[in-house]
Each structure stands twice: as C-alpha cells, then as structure tokens.
Chain A
C-alpha cells in the first residue's frame, strides 16, 4: 500500500531553517511528483511547491522563492522540504502529497500524516 511517512515535529527559532522529510513506499517513487502543502493554525491549505523525483526539477510558489528548497533521494525514496529564514507565520503543519503528473488530470491522491513545525523564540 502507498505510504508517505513524515519526519517528526520540529521547534525552531525565528531566522532558523527547518528540513522536513517524507519517505515514500508502496509505489514507484520516480513515477509521481511530490508536492508540499501547509496549513497554519486557523488557516486554509496553502500549496508551496512540487518536485519531480525523476530528475529533481522543482516548481515553487512565488511566495516562497528564495527560501524554499525541495530535494529528493531516489536511493531511499525520500523527498525533503527545507524552509529558511523562518518567521512566526511559518508555524504550520507541513504535508507531502503525491501527484501522477505525467498525464492529466492532476490531483493529490495520497498524503503524508504531516509534520508540525513551530516557530518560537
């Protein structure tokens, strides 16, 4: 069965960076893009970007350009999301979710359990 397993919760100080991992299993890792979506407390879902595990190409929301980096390790079927220059508004649950991006329609059919990132001094 498809599983996306996140790394554990993080507490970071403002200005620091955080790197969250998402380990995939149960399918061919390179056949599906991986997206990152976050939800801040009391807010809606926010798309951050996506990575093509087959080659590593990325696309990020303009809002996060310059401080968001998505990478992957095909040997362990793991994708990583690193967000730098953290501010309190980055406190959120961060989700990875996969997308069969090679043919329309595009949708997020499996999601990880999420990683809570708390920014606090």
Chain B
C-alpha cells in the first residue's frame, strides 16, 4: 500500500496567516493527489484535485503544488471558516490511502 505522511499533524495560526501543509507519498504517485477539508460533523469537502487543480467553488486562497512524492497545500490569508482538518489522499493505486490529517487551529 502507498503510505501518505502529512506534516505537521496540527498547527495554530491566526486569521490572515499563510499556512502550508505538506504530504509525502511512500512512492511516486505522479499528480494523483487530492486534498480535502473536513469540519466536525460534516462530510469531507474536495479542495484540490490532481495536486494543483482547484475544485469548482473553492476559494482561490487555497492552492496545491507538487508531483511525484512531495506535495503541498497552501492557504493564503487564512479565514475563520478555514479552521478545520485537512487530508491528502492518493488515487494512484488501490487501495486509495489518506494522510493522517492536519488540524488547523486558532492561535
């Protein structure tokens, strides 16, 4: 199975900050990497597909980059509604696997 490792596991930030979350795959996954946001009591929400493509309706302050094994999710100008847990997920091989999540908390 392809292992996905996110860092950090949690971070504290303030409104207006720039936040960066990294995700590393245990083998090359090309650009088969997606990012999801999850808020308590709600289903995950797709933010970024194929490593860097913004899902329709997602604010442009979210961006993704990377290919191969190393990927990054960046949130510019952090907003109150962005405090949530973020997951990377690879769709290169079965089983699909998720990172362990990064919780973004209010400082």
User: Which A positions have Cβ atoms within 8 angstroms of B?
Assistant: 35, 37, 44-47, 49-50, 59, 61-62, 95, 97, 99, 104-109, 111-114
Give chain B's interface secondary structure class: loop
Q: How many residues of B contact A (CB 8 A)?
A: 25
Q: Is the interface of A mostly helix, strand, loop or mixed?
A: strand
A113–B32 CB distance below 8 A:
no
**Contacts between the two chains (Cβ within 8 Å), count:** 62
Q: Given A105-B49, A105-B91, A107-B34, do A114 and B98 touch, yes or no (CB 8 Å)?
A: no
Contacts of B41-67 to chain A: CB distance below 8 A:
43-46, 49-50, 53, 55
Complex interface: chain A residues within 8 A of B44 (CB): 37, 45, 95, 97, 108, 111
Interface residues of B (CB under 8 A from A): 1, 31-32, 34, 36, 38, 43-46, 49-50, 53, 55, 87, 89, 91, 94-101
**Contacting pair A109 B55 (CB below 8 A):** yes
Min CB distance B86 to A, Å, is 11
